[in-house]
Structure 1
Amino acid sequence: MKLPIIAYGDPVLRKKTEEIDADYPNLKQLIDDMFDTMYAARGVGLAAPQIGLPIRLFVIDASPFAEDDEYSEGNASLNEFKKVLINPIIVEETGEKWAFSEGCLSIPDINEDVMRPRNVVINYLDENFEEVEVELSGLAARIVQHEYDHIEGKLFVDKLGPLKKAMLKGKLDAISKGMVQVDYKMKFPTRKKKR
C-alpha cells in the first residue's frame, strides 16, 4: 500500500526516533508499504519519519544509481543494494568529504550539493532482526547517511550554508503549505487535505 509522504515543516521530521523490536506491530507489512511508497515516488530511500512514524527504520534500493557507482560490500553493483535497516547506528565515517546533488521525497523540487564523508561503517538489524555490520563507500554510503539523518531528525537542507538556506526559504515554506506539484501522495503540515 502506498502511504502519503510527510512534507517539509512537519515536526515528525525533526524528532529523534525510537528503537523498535521484533514485536513492533505489523512490521513486515510496514516494510512492504515503505518499499511500495518509495518506488511509487521514484526514490532510492525512505525513512519511517517520512511516513509519520518516529522509529529507527529505513529502506533503500539504490538500483536507479547502478550505472553510477559501486559499493564496497563484495564490490557488487548498486543494482543489488536493496536493504532494510532497523535500529541502525553509524559506527564510523571516514574519507574525504565529497559533494553530490541530493534531493528528498519530503522536500520535492529541491536538489542541492551536499558534502559527506566518502565511507561509512554502519551496524543495523535486517528485516529478520539479524545483526549486520557493513562498510560502504561512494553512493551507497551517501544514501545510508542521508536516510540515517532522517532518523536523527535532520534533513539534507540542514547541511547547506546560511546563504543557500536563505535562498531556499521561500521554496521550503511553499512546500510546507502544499504549494508544490508532485505525482505521489503527500501530507502537508499546514494543510489538512491529502493529495
Structure 2
Amino acid sequence: MAVLPILRWPDPRLATPCAPATPDAATRALAQDMLETMYAAPGRGLAAPQVGALIRLFVMDVTWKEGTHAPRILLNPEILSASATTATGPEGCLSIPGLTTDITRPTGIHLRWTDPHGDRREETLTGFAAICAQHEIDHLDGRVTFDRLPPDRRAALEAAYLAGRPA
C-alpha cells in the first residue's frame, strides 16, 4: 500500500465527472492505497478523483478518529432517495486544505453501490455518514464544496483560498 498525493483545487480533474469503476484487482489496490492516504491525511473520506483516478470510487471511515475503524469502499454509488430534513454544518475537504465552510445537505440518504468484489449493496445512512457520502459523491460528479455555495460566498472563499488566507 502507498500514500498517494492528493490533488488540490483548482486542479481541473476535480471538476471532471468520473467514469464507472470496475470491481477488479487494480481498483481494489487503488482503494487500499486511498484508505491509507485518507488515514494519513487525516480525513474521513476520499474520492478517487482526489488522487487523480477519474473513476466512481470513494472510501470512507467516519468513526476511526473516535477509535473504531469501519472502513468502507464504495464503487459506483448512487443516492436512491434523500430525506426531506436537511442540516447545515461545517465541511472540510482534503483537496481544499485549511478551508471549512457551512454546507446544507439532507441528513439521511438511501445509497446503492457495488463493493470491491462486485456485489451490489444498499444501506440507509444518517448523520455524519450521510453527509460524508454525499460530499464524496459530489467529487465523483466533478463538484467540490465551492459548487454548493451561493455565488457571492463562493467568490469570497475562492479568492481567500487562492490568496492563502482564511475567509
Asked if TM exceeds 0.5, the reply is yes
Cα separation, partners in 2 of 1:66 and 1:140, compared to 1, 3 Å: farther
Q: Secondary structure at the match of 1:108?
A: coil
Residue from 78, 97, 113 that aligns with 1:124: 113
Letter in 2 for 1:2: V
Matched, 1:33 2:38: no
Q: Secondary structure at the match of 1:101?
A: strand
Displacement of 1:160: 1.4
Q: Contact conserved, 2:23 with 2:115, CA < 8 A, in 1?
A: no
Gaps spanning 5+ residues in structure 1: where?
A: 68-78, 181-195
Please tell me whether Structure 1 or Structure 2 has the larger radius of gyration of its CA atoms: 1
Matched, 1:151 2:152: no
Displacement of 1:171: 2.9
Displacement of 1:5: 0.2
- Equivalents in 2 of 1:22, 1:40: separation in Å? 24
- Equivalents in 1 of 2:66, 2:118: separation in Å? 27
Equivalent residue, structure 2, for 1:139? 128
Equivalent residue, structure 1, for 2:73? 84
Equivalent residue, structure 2, for 1:115? 104
Equivalent residue, structure 2, for 1:8? 9
- Equivalents in 1 of 2:155, 2:21: separation in Å? 36
Displacement of 1:137: 0.9
Letter in 2 for 1:145: Q
Displacement of 1:6: 0.3
Q: Contact conserved, 1:45 with 1:143, CA < 8 A, in 2?
A: yes
Equivalent residue, structure 2, for 1:185? none
- Equivalents in 1 of 2:88, 2:65: separation in Å? 16
Residue from 156, 159, 163 that aligns with 1:170: 159
Displacement of 1:87: 0.8
Displacement of 1:119: 0.9
Q: Contact conserved, 2:20 with 2:55, CA < 8 A, in 1?
A: yes
Report the identity percentage. Answer: 37
Q: Mean alpha-carbon deviation: is it higher for 33-42 or for 56-65? A: 56-65
Gaps spanning 5+ residues in structure 2: where?
A: none
Letter in 2 for 1:161: P
Q: Secondary structure at the match of 1:58?
A: strand
1:113-151 CA-partner distances (Å, limit 9, x unpaired):
100011101100112211101111111100000001000
Displacement of 1:28: 2.2
CA RMSD of aligned residues (A): 1.8
